């Protein structure tokens, strides 16, 4: 019953504050709650930490943040690399984010590591940019992205601006097993750290450098100048970090009519106007859509709390409808190729990147336009790694990268998805298409007519109970031992097992390597260019099903999508 010992240790520790102890005393009669909080520490992986804000080893709180930071500090001080500018820290609008950022800074400073910390909340991509700008060896961002208000997280970045490499994450995780959460964590006050010259506060000067790099990706200045007079946008940051820089960048490029949603411009970690602050879902845009109808608005743009995901609502006649992350991705990809070709700035060795679970429509667009497409595992750090490879070899010039979960990046100034640049490019693209007599809904239909009717859907299946991880592991084992023969009437032709690194052709029995790092993903290549992918979440008790189909017309594409979704959903009913 190690969890009970951990519980008693926290109650007895002089390090733990009285408010935390009171919270823990409040669960004294709830054995399952104690077990859930104290059986194990939050997993520290390549995405850092993410969990519900609560007392205990399995929660996001000042003690787990300090603990993780001590592990990171030990890595930095023993890795043999130049520490350079130290560590850069940013945070979002979530409850406790400023507190967790400050505590991380104090632990790093106590370990003799210089800290650059922002004076207030900033978008995630600015952290990626700023750590490279300051020459930092690492970066920390306190955020849980688009999760609900109960969550917070701790993302770690390395010197290239991408999230922590797997080998470094493993070192931090191993180190945490060797140190005590209270006794071995070094800590000084923020005042002491500043007195010792170990803290540099970053402000508007860094914003300006970052925005200049964002605006450098602009490609349709003439279209904006021509149509901005009568083009209206509504923007919402969903109570988060985009509230300042997105309107600013839209102003920089010349958009003249940008309205904001007043209720959602308020910085509030409770996200009071939305059930979930996720721009993937139309529900969060309800207030903005109501405003749009009243103000005859052309386009709505929304960004998530940490400013790395961008969603849009487009006008279709008198109605407003969201586009999926995949649809936005292929619109931007095709737009950048065509606009850069028109401007004479499309490099002959241009390359784009997307995650393996993102639409194969991107493959078709790149093939038709002579652009090399690279597919990577889920996680924008893998796109960041490709950018680094391209710069080192000179073989390719990075054009654009995206993930189906509304993450986009043009330019190499950052190594993570950027909703600020995405918002700018969406606005430019809308003006560019207006010059062709189309809105973005019509533009999407035109892409289907040109490249084929592709349809995608992502479903999440929550696995309830403390044994959720075991259930998910068993599901994946069963699928590997007994692979499905078909999905929705479409035969499985190949199975890509990214955990074993092997692609098996079920028609011939031949095998090939995946060529990608190990990841617990099963990718089923179906007949006629369709696919089904199953992946357990690394941060939540969920299994995700990704379905991607294609057909010659819209009706056939929808029918295929529905059939594969039904088949896959039945398979994952655990």
Task: Give CA 173 to chain center in angstroms.
Answer: 22
Q: For the domain 453-571, what is the CATH code?
A: 3.30.310.50
Q: Is 235 helix (H, G, I), strand (E, B) or coil?
A: strand
Alpha helices, H only, 372-467: 380-393, 419-434, 440-451
Range with the poorest average pLDDT among 241-255, 345-359, 451-465: 451-465
Task: Give CA 457 to chain center in angstroms.
Answer: 18
* Burial readout 415-448 (b: 16 or more C-beta within 10 A, e: otherwise): bbbbbbbbbbbbbbbbbbbbeeeebbbebbeebb
d(CA 462, CA 484): 21
Q: What is the pLDDT of residue 46?
A: 76
Beta-bridge partner residues of 60: 53
Nearest Cα to 420, choosing from 118, 120, 91, 126?
126
d(CA 251, CA 308): 19
What does DSSP assign to residue 41? P
d(CA 373, CA 350): 9
Q: What is the pLDDT of residue 467?
A: 78
Q: What is the pLDDT of residue 340?
A: 98
Q: Over the chain, what is the mean pLDDT?
A: 96
Q: What is the pLDDT of residue 574?
A: 67
- Indicate the domain borders of the chain: 40-202, 213-451, 453-571
pLDDT band at 539 (very low <50, low <70, confident <90, very high): low
Is 455 a residue of the active site?
no
pTM reported for the whole predicted model: 0.95
Average pLDDT over residues 513-538: 94
Q: For the domain 40-202, what is the CATH code?
A: 3.40.120.10
Cβ proximity of 26 and 358 under 8 Å: no
d(CA 255, CA 246): 11
Cβ proximity of 75 and 137 under 8 Å: no
d(CA 322, CA 316): 10
pLDDT tens for 165-211 read: 889 999 999 999 999 999 999 999 999 999 999 999 999 999 999 99
Q: Select which of 97, 145, 423, 519 is catalytic.
A: 145
Q: 276 or 259, which is more confident?
A: 259
Average pLDDT over residues 64-86: 96
d(CA 37, CA 61): 12
Q: Which two tokens stand for residue 434?
A: 């207006």
Domain 213-451 identical in fold to domain 453-571: no
Surface-to-core class of residue 509, CB atoms within 10 Å of its CB (0-12 exposed, 13-18 middle, 19+ buried): exposed
d(CA 536, CA 550): 25
Surface-to-core class of residue 136, CB atoms within 10 Å of its CB (0-12 exposed, 13-18 middle, 19+ buried): buried
Q: For the domain 213-451, what is the CATH code?
A: 3.40.120.10
Average pLDDT over residues 518-525: 95
pLDDT tens for 130-158 read: 999 999 999 999 999 989 999 999 999 99
Q: In Å, what is the CA distance from 30 to each residue of 2, 27, 35, 391, 469?
A: 16, 5, 9, 55, 21
Average pLDDT over residues 67-73: 98
pLDDT band at 105 (very low <50, low <70, confident <90, very high): very high
Q: What percent of the chain has pLDDT over 90?
A: 94
Nearest Cα to 9, choosing from 181, 187, 177, 185?
181
Q: For CA atoms 256, 259, 265, 270, give the dihedral sign.
A: negative
pLDDT band at 116 (very low <50, low <70, confident <90, very high): very high
d(CA 502, CA 518): 10
């Amino acid at each position: 019953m190690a969890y009970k010992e951990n519980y008693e240790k926290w109650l007895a520790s002089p390090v733990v504050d009285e408010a935390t102890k009171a919270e823990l005393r409040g669960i004294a009669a709830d054995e399952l709650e104690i077990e859930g909080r104290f059986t194990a520490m939050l997993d520290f992986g390549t995405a850092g930490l993410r969990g519900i804000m609560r007392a205990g080893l399995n929660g996001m709180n000042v003690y787990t943040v300090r603990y993780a930071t001590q592990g990171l500090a030990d890595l930095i001080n023993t890795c043999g690399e130049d520490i350079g500018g130290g560590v850069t820290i940013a945070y979002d609008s979530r409850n406790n984010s400023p507190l967790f950022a400050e505590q991380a800074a104090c632990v790093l400073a106590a370990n003799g590591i210089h800290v650059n910390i922002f004076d207030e909340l900033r978008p995630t991509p600015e952290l990626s940019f700023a750590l490279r700008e300051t020459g930092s060896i690492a970066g920390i961002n306190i955020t849980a992205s688009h999760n609900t208000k109960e969550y917070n997280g701790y993302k770690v970045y390395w010197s290239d601006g991408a999230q922590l490499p797997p080998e470094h994450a493993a070192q931090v995780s191993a180190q945490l097993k060797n140190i005590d959460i209270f006794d071995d964590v070094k800590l000084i006050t923020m005042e002491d750290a500043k007195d010792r010259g170990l803290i540099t506060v970053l402000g508007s000067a860094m914003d300006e450098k970052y925005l200049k790099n964002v605006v450098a990706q602009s490609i349709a200045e003439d279209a904006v100048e021509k149509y901005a007079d009568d083009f209206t946008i509504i923007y919402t940051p969903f109570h988060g970090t985009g509230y300042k820089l997105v309107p600013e960048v839209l102003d920089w490029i010349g958009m003249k009519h940008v309205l904001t949603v007043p209720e959602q411009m308020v910085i509030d970690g409770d996200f009071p106007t939305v059930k979930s602050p996720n721009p993937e879902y139309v529900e969060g845009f309800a207030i903005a859509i109501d405003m749009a109808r009243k103000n005859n608005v052309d386009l709505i743009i929304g960004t998530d709390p940490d400013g790395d995901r961008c969603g849009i609502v487009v006008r279709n006649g008198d109605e407003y409808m969201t586009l999926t992350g995949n649809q936005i991705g292929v619109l931007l990809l095709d737009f950048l190729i065509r606009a850069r070709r028109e401007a004479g700035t499309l490099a002959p060795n241009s390359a784009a990147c997307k995650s393996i679970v993102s639409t194969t429509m991107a493959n078709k667009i790149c093939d038709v336009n002579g652009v090399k497409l690279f597919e990577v595992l889920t996680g924008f750090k893998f796109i960041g790694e490709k950018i680094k490879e391209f710069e080192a070899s000179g073989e390719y010039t990075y054009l654009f990268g995206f993930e189906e979960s509304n993450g986009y990046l043009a330019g190499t100034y950052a190594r993570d998805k950027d909703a600020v640049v995405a918002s700018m490019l969406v606005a430019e693209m809308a003006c560019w298409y207006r010059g062709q007599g189309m809105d973005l809904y019509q533009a999407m239909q035109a892409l289907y007519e040109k490249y084929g009717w592709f349809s995608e859907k992502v479903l999440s299946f929550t696995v309830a109970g403390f044994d959720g991880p075991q259930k998910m592991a068993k599901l994946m084992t069963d699928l590997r031992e007994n692979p499905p023969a078909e999905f929705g009437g479409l035969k499985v032709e190949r199975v890509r097992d990214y955990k074993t690194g092997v692609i098996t052709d079920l028609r011939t029995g031949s095998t090939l390597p995946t060529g990608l790092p190990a990841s617990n993903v099963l990718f089923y290549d179906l007949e006629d260019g369709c696919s089904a992918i199953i992946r357990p979440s690394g941060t939540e008790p969920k299994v995700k099903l990704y379905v991607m189909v294609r057909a010659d017309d819209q009706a056939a594409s929808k029918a295929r999508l529905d059939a594969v979704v039904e088949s896959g959903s039945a398979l994952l009913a655990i």
